[in-house]
Chain A
Amino acid sequence: MRILSKLFLVSSLALPVSGQAALTVFACEPEWAALSEEIAPGATVYSATTAKQDPHHIQARPGLISKMRKADIVVCSGAELEVGWLPALQMKSANPKVQSRKQGLFFAADQVDTIGKLEKVDPTMGDVHPEGNPHLHLDPYRMEKIAQSLAERMAALDPANKDEYLANAKKFSENWEHHIKRWEKEAAPLKGKNLVTYHSNFDYFLQWLGVNVVGDLEPKPGLPPSSQHLASLLSMSKKTHIDAIVYASYQDKKGADWLSQKAGVPAMELPMSVGGSEQSKNLISLYDDLIKKLLKVTSSS
């Protein structure tokens, strides 16, 4: 009896989540909901935000607390993108499963290197992230690594379905690599183009495709475009060739439109994530649509 109970105890400590039917996933952004569905198609997946909502500015609202209360795993970008609301949700939902970054709290930024890390941060710099740029779902190579890590994490939390998660990650990866080759071919004409962006949202994507960012509409990260700053971008446009101005699906288009008109440069809204445009229904069509839109907006120049 003793031995039996000891065995039981040890095994239940080692495997805190027993073989439940499926995981319940709370994703902070739609891209992580999409990736979770690739790895765990049977899971119940909820996305806390849409591609029309700036994830810096989400409210820790009751609807999100009740969703996190029931989650087995929380999948987020990390690198402080959700710092304004995620800790409040964790505390208010009182769900012990999703408190630790080694258990049910999965930060994509913990799995890969981020770009734009800062040694020193002071508040005069605006909303900068010392842990680097958190919009890393737009780098396909990092995405592949994150998919693998997510599958491993899900397998650790739900060992009964371990094989399925790992197999799905492998399948995702093979398919993804095939698309990466295609995307790199299709996006070749974008190389060397000069863009003005709203914020550092597309830095990973543009670095991957060799597109230059020559300016941001925001004077400092997190601060709205000021008329003074827009005027300085306009005068810059006279010296530096700008191919296009782009902004994310949750960003205000006024600044982009103003500069577009004054500088005679096309402006375009880009989907920030799955659901950010009509065409971006999953991760692959999100990348497809981003490349298609960038090709279109830069083709005129």
Chain B
Amino acid sequence: MPGVNSPAFSTDFNSLPSNSNTSRKSTRKRWSYSRIATALALVAASTAVQAEEFKPNFSLILDGHYKSANSALSEYEKGFGLGHVELGVSAAIDDLFYGKFTGVVHEHDNKTEFETEEAFIQTLALPGGLSVRAGRFLSDIGYLNGQHTHSDSFVERPAAYRAMLGSHYYDDGVRLSYVMPTDTFWTIGTEAFGGDKMRAQGVADPKSVGVYTAFTKIGGDFNEENSWQLGLSYLRNDNGASATHHEEHDDHGHEEHGHEEESGHNHSHDAKFTGKNTYIADAVWKWAPDGNYKYQNLTLTGEYLQTTDISDTIKGNEKNEGFYLSSVFQMTPQWAVGARYGEFKGYEAHGDHFHEQKLKESEFMVSWSHSHFSTVRLQYTRQTGDGFENIKNDIVTLQYVMSLGAHDAHTF
């Protein structure tokens, strides 16, 4: 996480005099006057700005693995492979804006792809508690989605995330969020996105701004040792309901039909199971003896995701849903163990009916971190289910995640 070294001057938005008795005209005049004054003050301040040191943060994440078998809903194939190799640059741009760029190198079907995962600006000096983010960024819905995958405790995101959010949902858009001035942490936010990654098959006339979200998180400390956070999120996806036509579906027995072919061309980060309305509830509890996270700590996380109104053309109340529960215990400064269980059930549209698909996943991992910057992880995954390709009982993955450069933030 970058240092926010924003320079000396911040515009005081409350500094404009308010006098309810002044006429409209004089109010307008006064406003223009104060704008000029503010602009002049900003120009004057910008010379002082140079004095504060400018130190952009550079980071490179190296992430690679060996996987013993192919598995369902996975980005990674059997054998050696690269995960999220990321290059990031971030810094405060001036006293008002912070900027971040993250580029990701992907290996997909033996092709190397470079894509921009984050390229956003965020305000630093809006009046208390308000902030705006614009550009390409990770949506703040749910618990895991807003976090970077390289700080995860398991090799891949839970099955529900992989199926419903394309592992992690990021997109081009804008966010407005507000932190309440309460003793208990409480934030609310809303986002609007293009929504290409969340577009369902067969949508004839997709909207250019297709996804809207609203989320709230509350949290706090029970005491010095125990901290918690709860979140509720809603995602409205105008292009999320699939539209399939019966006449296209003449060969019933052909499983590779339609959706599979289409999604073959899609990017691996597109969500496969979408719908008009998605709801997410999440809970986190963390514990460390004396609140000292260095030596030992425990993190319990759970999330539930549900998507309704999944098709415009097929009648029925089918909904996609999934959850996971995760527990990670850092036993010593260098060793951690974790277990995660998750389920996903979703429906793929085929002509005039749905195909049900189910996946249950149990994962166990042991990780060793030599320093803040280096982690090696061994994970065992057991999958059972129906309808997915490559459902595999036993998968062993050996992974490394290492970072060069900027120190990673200890996000909750």
Chain A positions within 8 Å of B, measured between CB atoms, are 1-2, 5-6, 8-10, 12-13, 16, 49-50, 52-54, 56-63, 65-66, 69-70, 83-85, 87-88, 90-97, 99-103, 123, 126-127, 222-224, 250, 252
CB distance from A160 to the nearest CB of B (A): 16
Whether A66 touches B184, Cβ cut-off 8 Å, given contacts A13-B12, A84-B408, is yes
B:201-253 near A, CB below 8 Å: 217-221, 224, 227-229
A87 CB contacts on chain B under 8 angstroms:
1-4, 409
B130 CB contacts on chain A under 8 angstroms:
94
Q: Contact check, A61 vs B294: say whether CB atoms are below 8 A apart.
A: no
Q: Contact check, B98 vs A91: say whether CB atoms are below 8 A apart.
A: yes
Q: Contact check, B17 vs A84: say whether CB atoms are below 8 A apart.
A: no
Distance of A155 Cα from B22 Cα, bound (Å): 34
Q: Is B78 an interface residue (CB 8 A)?
A: no
Distance of A236 Cα from B224 Cα, bound (Å): 39
Which of B33-41, B163-171, B347-355 binds A? B33-41
A94 CB contacts on chain B under 8 angstroms:
123, 126, 128-131, 177-179
Q: Contact check, A99 vs B95: say whether CB atoms are below 8 A apart.
A: yes
9 further interface pairs, Cβ-Cβ under 8 Å (given A60-B1, A61-B229, A223-B370)? A13-B41, A53-B292, A54-B294, A62-B227, A65-B185, A94-B179, A96-B127, A102-B52, A103-B10
Distance of A62 Cα from B9 Cα, bound (Å): 28
In the complex, the chain B residue whose C-beta lies closest to that of A224 is B333
**Subset of 6 A-B contacts with CB under 8 Å:** A5-B33, A66-B220, A92-B187, A94-B128, A96-B128, A100-B8
Whether A99 touches B125, Cβ cut-off 8 Å, given contacts A2-B30, A9-B15, is yes
CB distance from B411 to the nearest CB of A (A): 5
Q: Contact check, A59 vs B30: say whether CB atoms are below 8 A apart.
A: no
Whether A66 touches B185, Cβ cut-off 8 Å, given contacts A53-B291, A61-B219, is yes
Whether A99 touches B124, Cβ cut-off 8 Å, given contacts A87-B4, A90-B4, is yes
Distance of A54 Cα from B123 Cα, bound (Å): 31
Q: Is B182 an interface residue (CB 8 A)?
A: yes
Distance of A57 Cα from B9 Cα, bound (Å): 31
Q: Contact check, A62 vs B286: say whether CB atoms are below 8 A apart.
A: no
Q: Contact check, B410 vs A85: say whether CB atoms are below 8 A apart.
A: yes
In the complex, the chain A residue whose C-beta lies closest to that of B333 is A224
Distance of A62 Cα from B229 Cα, bound (Å): 7
Distance of A57 Cα from B411 Cα, bound (Å): 11
A69 CB contacts on chain B under 8 angstroms:
128-129, 179-181, 185
For this complex, into which size category does the number of interface residues on chain B fall? Answer: 35 or more
Q: Is B327 an interface residue (CB 8 A)?
A: no
B290 CB contacts on chain A under 8 angstroms:
50, 52-53, 250
Which of A6, A94, A99, A223 gathers most chain B CB within 10 Å?
A94
Distance of A111 Cα from B15 Cα, bound (Å): 30
Contact of B15 among A12, A56, A63, A100 (CB under 8 A): A12
4 closest A-B pairs by CB: A62-B219, A62-B185, A12-B15, A66-B185
Distance of A5 Cα from B284 Cα, bound (Å): 50
CB distance from A228 to the nearest CB of B (A): 14
A88 CB contacts on chain B under 8 angstroms:
1, 409-411
**Could you tell me the dominant secondary structure of chain B's interface residues?**
loop
Distance of A103 Cα from B125 Cα, bound (Å): 12
Q: Contact check, B411 vs A99: say whether CB atoms are below 8 A apart.
A: no
Contact of B219 among A63, A84, A91 (CB under 8 A): A63
Distance of A62 Cα from B6 Cα, bound (Å): 23
Q: Contact check, B179 vs A13: say whether CB atoms are below 8 A apart.
A: no
Distance of A2 Cα from B36 Cα, bound (Å): 13
In the complex, the chain B residue whose C-beta lies closest to that of A221 is B371
A6 CB contacts on chain B under 8 angstroms:
33, 37
Q: Contact check, B126 vs A91: say whether CB atoms are below 8 A apart.
A: no
Whether A95 touches B129, Cβ cut-off 8 Å, given contacts A53-B292, A59-B227, A60-B410, is yes
Q: Contact check, B410 vs A58: say whether CB atoms are below 8 A apart.
A: yes
A52 CB contacts on chain B under 8 angstroms:
224, 290-292
Contact of A63 among B33, B185, B295, B410 (CB under 8 A): B185
Q: Is B54 an interface residue (CB 8 A)?
A: no
Whether A101 touches B219, Cβ cut-off 8 Å, given contacts A59-B286, A69-B179, A94-B179, is no
Q: Is B5 an interface residue (CB 8 A)?
A: yes
Contact of A5 among B17, B228, B293 (CB under 8 A): B17
In the complex, the chain B residue whose C-beta lies closest to that of A102 is B8
A61 CB contacts on chain B under 8 angstroms:
219, 221, 227, 229, 286, 412
Q: Is B307 an interface residue (CB 8 A)?
A: no
Distance of A6 Cα from B123 Cα, bound (Å): 27
Q: Contact check, A12 vs B12: say whether CB atoms are below 8 A apart.
A: yes
Whether A101 touches B410, Cβ cut-off 8 Å, given contacts A5-B30, A6-B37, A95-B128, is no
Q: Is B404 an interface residue (CB 8 A)?
A: yes
Q: Contact check, B293 vs A103: say whether CB atoms are below 8 A apart.
A: no
Q: Is B142 an interface residue (CB 8 A)?
A: no
B38 CB contacts on chain A under 8 angstroms:
9, 13
B:109-142 near A, CB below 8 Å: 122-131
Q: Contact check, A84 vs B1: say whether CB atoms are below 8 A apart.
A: yes
B:394-412 near A, CB below 8 Å: 404, 407-412
Q: Contact check, A56 vs B294: say whether CB atoms are below 8 A apart.
A: yes
Q: Contact check, A16 vs B412: say whether CB atoms are below 8 A apart.
A: no
Q: Is B390 an interface residue (CB 8 A)?
A: no
Contact of A12 among B17, B33, B180 (CB under 8 A): B17
Q: Contact check, B218 vs A62: say whether CB atoms are below 8 A apart.
A: yes
B407 CB contacts on chain A under 8 angstroms:
83-84
Whether A99 touches B6, Cβ cut-off 8 Å, given contacts A69-B128, A224-B332, is yes
Distance of A132 Cα from B185 Cα, bound (Å): 34
